[in-house]
Structure 1
Amino acid sequence: MPHQHKYTNELIHSKSPYLLQHAHNPVNWMEWSHRAFRKAKKENKPILVSIGYS
Structure 2
Amino acid sequence: MLNVRAASQLLNVSKSTLRRWGDQGRIEYWRISSRGDRRFKREDVERLAWQMFEEANS
Q: TM-score range by the shorter chain?
A: under 0.3
Higher RCO by CA contacts (8 Å cutoff, separation 6 or greater): 2
Q: TM-score normalized by structure 2?
A: 0.25
Kindly indicate which of the two structures has a greater share of residues assigned to strand: 2
Kindly indicate which of the two structures has a greater share of residues assigned to helix: 2
Q: TM-score normalized by structure 1?
A: 0.26
